[in-house]
Amino acid sequence: MIRAASASFLFALVVIACSNNNPQPDGGGGACSQDISVGWTGFDLCAAGTGGNLGTKCPAVTPPATCVDSRPVAACCTWAADPKAELTRAPSSLHYNGQPAGQPAVDLACTTTPPAQGKPAMVTLNGFVKVFLGGDADSTGVKIEIFNEGPDGSLGALVGTAVTTDTTSQQRTNDWLANCPTNGCIERAFSYANVPTETPLIVHTSDANSAGKWASLYDYNIYFANSVVSNNTVTYDTTVVGSTDLLTVATSAGGYTIQADKGLLAGEVHDCGDVRLSGATVSTDYRPQSPIVYFGSNETSPLPDQSKTETQQLGLFGGINYTTGVPIHISAVGLLNGQRTLIGAYTVQTFPGAVTALSLRGRRPNQIN
């Protein structure tokens, strides 16, 4: 079973660089401490500057010609802040993506030896629609669409037929989010037919009734290996974000105003075992309006903590108001046994007024040249 991940989140990255023009790759003065782009041997995301997941070459050169003092580590098309603390797996007490009992060791084996990509097969996807902060207590009226991932992180063709949750959908209770009512939030089940395995996908959740209750969210880096198929089905819990939740996060991130023509980026950093990691620094080649934001460790109310400079046990990071319609390269870096290590890299795009969500999960089967 693949547990839900990529959108438990909200928002992704980047520290303000030297130019105010957008879009523009980061660059500036400063001495780089280490180029770890070669860490993924043979992976053309770093070697040739492609997006790896069907992406294009990095802007400028590979990596960009100059770094900035606040982000001196060259890491696959981006400059990342230098990590200071050893990477640590999230505790098993988390409801989603904590470490399995008795397995505290960080797993980054797939960054050098990614799993092979198998032959696609059509299956049915079953799961629940999770609520993010609990600002809306029942995930009914959510439209779920699945798309192929296109070149440069673009939205590809629709897969299968969209489905919508309603009051007749099977339900479960989320009783740990602080904003849920005393009897808990209701999370609705969905079933989506004709989904390809071994294929990079994007899961889109939105307001089926155009009532302004739910924000539009594009969940990237969804990949179902044939090894997780059981009885011709796979399992994945996606996420929906209430419109009021966006305002809450933007306020906690520093009082930003969400611009209708810009996109929001939300993410989590996981290891190859799909366990959340603390201690990672994340960056993008294109800059949002906000500085990089990392979320605190309170699972009952996951919000940005402006004092944090790296991921905490929830693995969450975010950035507000990205230019839309351009490939955005994302990289996460951490210390493993004292050595700077590239944890994950991916290419996405943002959409006007929408959230782009991403869980970095090491090097994926589609990231092999």
CA dihedral 304, 356, 44, 149 (to 10 degrees): 160
Q: Are residues 232 and 154 in the same domain?
A: yes
The reply to whether 173 and 75 lie within a common domain is no
Compute the mean pLDDT over every residue in the chain, rounded to the nearest whole number.
Answer: 84
Q: Are residues 265 and 222 in the same domain?
A: no
Average pLDDT of span 256-270? 94
Direct distance between the N- and C-terminal alpha carbons of the chain, in angstroms, rounded to an integer:
27
**Which of 236, 268, 283 is at the close of a domain?**
236
Q: Give CA 12 to chain center in angstroms.
A: 8
Q: Are residues 232 and 250 in the same domain?
A: no
Domain end, chosen from 236, 270, 287, is at: 236
Query: Does 20 have pLDDT greater than 50?
Result: no
Within a domain: 53? yes
Question: Residue 48: pLDDT above 70?
Answer: no
Question: Is it the case that residue 161 has pLDDT exceeding 50?
Answer: yes
Burial class (CB in 10 A: 0-12, 13-18, 19+), 297: middle
How long, in residues, is the chain? 369
User: What is the helix (H) or strand (E) element at residue 252, kind and residue range?
Assistant: helix 243-252
* Beta bridge partner(s), residue 190: 127
Residues 314, 308: Cα–Cα separation, whole Å:
12
Q: Is 274 left (phi over 0), alpha (psi -120 to 50) or beta?
A: left
Q: Read off the pTM.
A: 0.87
- Are 128 and 231 contained in the same domain? yes
Distance of CA 7 to the CA centre of its chain: 7
Tell me the residue range of the domain where 230 lies. 122-236
Q: Is residue 63 part of a domain?
A: yes
Which helix (H) or strand (E) element contains residue 44? helix 44-47
* CA gap 46, 362 in Å, rounded: 14
> Based on the domain organization, do 145 and 177 belong to the same domain?
yes
CB 211 within 8 A of CB 243: no
Q: What is the pLDDT of residues 98-108, one digit of tens each?
A: 999 999 999 99
Name residue, tokens 């009897």.
183
Q: What is the pLDDT of residues 310-369, one digit of tens each?
A: 999 999 999 999 999 988 889 999 999 998 888 998 889 999 999 999 999 998 888 765
Who contacts 168 (Cβ-Cβ below 8 Å, separation ≥6)? none
Most distant CA pair in the chain: distance in Å?
A: 59
Residue 298: predicted pLDDT: 94
The total number of structural domains in the chain stands at: 2
